[in-house]
Amino acid sequence: MEQHIASVFDRDLEAIQAHIMKMGGLVEQSIRDSALALKRRDTDLADRVRDNDVKIDELETLIHEEATRVIALRAPAASDLRLIMSVLRISVNLERIGDYSKNMSRRTGVVLNLPEMDGVPETVVRMAGEVEKMLKDCLDAYVRRDEAMARDVIERDLNVDRMYNGLFRQLVTFMLENPRNITACMHLHFMIKNIERMGDHVTSIAEMVVFIVTGVKPSSRPMGADPHFLDLE
């Protein structure tokens, strides 16, 4: 009987983890498309990012429902309960990343009607691409239970912060050179701030992977390690 219960629990857990991977794939696509919509000046693609966010939200709801059911019916042991609670945290972070992608896409149509900032869209795509790669590696680390890979993702968030700071300086320069650039630069700033926040949430997922493997959550980065020049959120 105990073996049967364990087998049923394993199947339930595999189903939940499959939903996590599907959700992660949708979020990766959302990050990529929200940046490409800006670079390609493609409002249709931006609209699709917003529409597809519904699928991400539905998966988060499904994961929470199934995880709650497993906890109620299977009464998992401490290590299994830790895994389920970590999965719930991961799904919340994925949903938030999707929201930030959606927020980016909402500004695309506005930005395209304002003066172009030379080189900025291409840099935004590179920054988003770095976060997308971090998320992919983070999900791979989750599947493989690879602590080293997860810790590497955590360290790479510093690169995203540096890219954000460099872009922010560039936008300030554009605003100082011509006050007519201020509106466009402010919208672009919010877009890159969204990407920076995505990196923070990917880092949180990586920390949960470390927690799943070791039972200990890694220490957060000390405040001021790589400060932002302007945080409007």
Domain at 93, CATH number: 1.20.58.220
With a pLDDT cut of 90, the percent of the chain lying above it is 73
3: amino acid identity, one letter: Q
Total tally of structural domains belonging to the chain: 1
Domain membership flag for residue 233: no
Distance, in Å, from the CA atom of 13 to the CA atom of 81, rounded to the nearest integer, reads 11
3-state secondary structure 14-78: HHHHHHHHHHHHHHHHHHHHHHHHHHHCCHHHHHHHHHHHHHHHHHHHHHHHHHHHHHHHHCCCH
**Is 27 domain-assigned?**
yes
pTM exceeds 0.85 for this model: yes
Query: Does residue 222 form part of some domain?
Result: no
| Residue 18 covered by a domain | yes
In a domain, 32, yes or no: yes
Distances (CA, A) of 31 to 48, 132, 141, 233: 12, 6, 19, 19
Among 60-74, 153-167, 177-191, the least confident range: 60-74
Closest to 99 in 3D by CA, of 63, 43, 157, 57: 57
How far is Cα 211 from Cα 81, in angstroms, rounded to an integer? 12
Domain presence at residue 225: no
Q: Is residue 171 part of a domain?
A: yes
The two three-digit tokens of residue 65, written as one number: 């429902």
pLDDT bin (cut points 50, 70, 90) of residue 6 is: low
CA-to-CA separations, 111 to 9, 107, 124, 139, 148, in angstroms, rounded? 49, 6, 13, 32, 40
Both structure tokens of 55: 């699928």
CB 196 within 8 A of CB 103: no
Model pLDDT for residues 85-140, shown as the tens digit of each residue: 899 999 999 999 999 999 999 999 899 999 889 889 899 999 999 999 999 999 99
User: Around Cβ 31, how many Cβ atoms within 10 Å?
Assistant: 28
> Mind listing the pLDDT tens digit for each residue in 40-89?
999 999 999 999 999 999 999 999 999 999 888 877 777 788 888 899 99
Please provide residue 132's backbone torsions phi and psi, each rounded to the nearest 5 degrees. -60, -45
Question: Residue 178 carries which DSSP code?
Answer: -
Please state the φ and ψ torsions of residue 126, each to the nearest 5 degrees. -65, -40
Q: How confident is the model at residue 195 (pLDDT cuts 50, 70, 90)?
A: very high
Its sign, for the CA torsion 110, 114, 117, 122, is: positive
Whether 110 maps to a domain, the answer reads yes
CA distance 45 to 68: 35
CA 11 to CA 74: how far, in whole Å?
12
Q: What is the chain's mean pLDDT, rounded?
A: 89
pLDDT at 10: 79
Reported as type and span, the H/E element at residue 130 is helix 120-144
Which residue segment(s) compose the domain that 136 sits in? Answer: 2-214
DSSP per-residue string spanning 86-111: HHHHHHHHHHHHHHHHHHHHHHHHHH
What local confidence, expressed as pLDDT, does residue 232 receive?
Answer: 33
pLDDT over threshold 90, residue 223: no
Rounded CA separation 149/60 (Å): 25
